[in-house]
Amino acid sequence: MAVMKVIEIMSDSDKSWEDATRKGIAKASKSIKDIKSAWVQSQSVTVKDGEVKSFRVNLKLSFEVQ
C-alpha cells in the first residue's frame, strides 16, 4: 500500500497557463521526488494597463511518501 501526500503550490508565467504549470512542476521536482500527478485547482491572470501580464496557476501535487 502506498501513502500519498498532497501539497499546494502557485506558479506563474508570462506565456500561458500551460507554461506556468510546467514551470511549477519542474521547480517542485527539484526538491520533491516521484511526483505522481498535478491538479490545476485554479487559474488567474495579472493585468496591467489593460493587458495580461502573467498567467497564474494554483496546483495540487501528489507524491508517494517513502
Locate 13 and state its grid cell: 508565467
Alpha-carbon gap, residue 37 to 14, rounded angstroms: 24
Residue in the structure block whose three cell numbers are 517513502: 66
Number of domains in the chain: 1
Domain limits for position 15: 4-64
Predicted model pTM: 0.88
Residue 11's nearest CA partner among 50, 32, 36, 41 is: 41
Alpha-carbon gap, residue 62 to 58, rounded angstroms: 13
We report the CATH number of the domain holding residue 39 as 3.30.1660.10
Tens-place pLDDT, residues 17-62: 999 999 999 999 999 999 999 999 999 999 999 999 999 999 999 9
